[in-house]
Copies of this chain bind each other. A is one copy, B any other.
Amino acid sequence: MIEVMIVDDQEIIRQSLEMMLSSKPGIHVSATATDGRDAIAKVRMKHPDVILMDIRMPGMDGIECLKIIRELNKNIKVIILTTFDDDEYIYESLKYGANGFLLKGTKMAEIIKAIEVVNNGGAMMDSAVSSKVLNLFAQMAKADYSSRIDDRDYQDLTLNELKIIQAIGQGLSNKEISAGLNFSEGTVRNYISSVLRKLDLRDRTQIAIFAIQSSLMLRDLEGEEE
């Protein structure tokens, strides 16, 4: 039985969602809330598996609420329900770990499917939203000069060079890097020089940008070969 919580400031929507969902086997609406503050209080009492939440609400908005819920409990799945497919909203929601994003026009069958999918660890987005997400992604991951860099070019980076790239991508200074990796500061600088040469970049800032836009920051370098 999936425990669902509904958060929306409009009573009509709350009620109709609750009615529709309650009739479905396997789903139980254990709470409803009218705004962010209300939602957070009720999350502590009831323990919903999945929250359906409107993003635009008076008082505390959906994003802020999502953020707090995430800090509270990382396992609760949150599906954002909204009328707008506004870039900012989408971006912020995703950043704070929403598990789904549906437009309000979405058919009930889709919503139910989304609840089930999300409850199983998947994610569900409206296709229009997916499309925006992909665009955002492609934009974030691309800059005029980083696209110049070919896969071939960074195959031959040393493990230490990779570590240093990651460190720069975290915004560390040379001193901090040298402390963290047990190198002298001069060595760190030499490695950086070598990275700059290999990637054809100019300074550490460009390295940082490259690091984030490539998938390098996501790699775990412990015990990795090159």
Residues of A within 8 A of B (CB): 64, 87-88, 91-92, 94-99, 117, 121-125, 127-128, 130-131, 133-134, 136-145, 151, 168-171, 173, 201-206, 208-209, 212-213, 215, 217-218
- Secondary structure at chain A's binding surface: helix, strand, loop or mixed? helix
A107 to chain B, nearest CB (A): 14
Is B134 within 8 A of A123, CB to CB?
yes
The one of B94, B95, B122, B212 in contact with A127, judged by C-beta atoms closer than 8 angstroms, is B122
B-chain residues with CB within 8 Å of residue A124 when the two chains form the complex: 127, 130
Is A91 within 8 A of B170, CB to CB?
no
C-alpha gap A173/B201 in the complex (Å) = 12
A68 to chain B, nearest CB (A): 12
Is B171 within 8 A of A205, CB to CB?
yes
A122 to chain B, nearest CB (A): 3
Is B215 within 8 A of A91, CB to CB?
yes
A169 closest partner in B (C-beta):
B209
C-alpha gap A144/B169 in the complex (Å) = 12
Is B208 within 8 A of A87, CB to CB?
no
Is A131 within 8 A of B99, CB to CB?
yes
A117 to chain B, nearest CB (A): 5
B-chain residues with CB within 8 Å of residue A91 when the two chains form the complex: 141, 215, 218
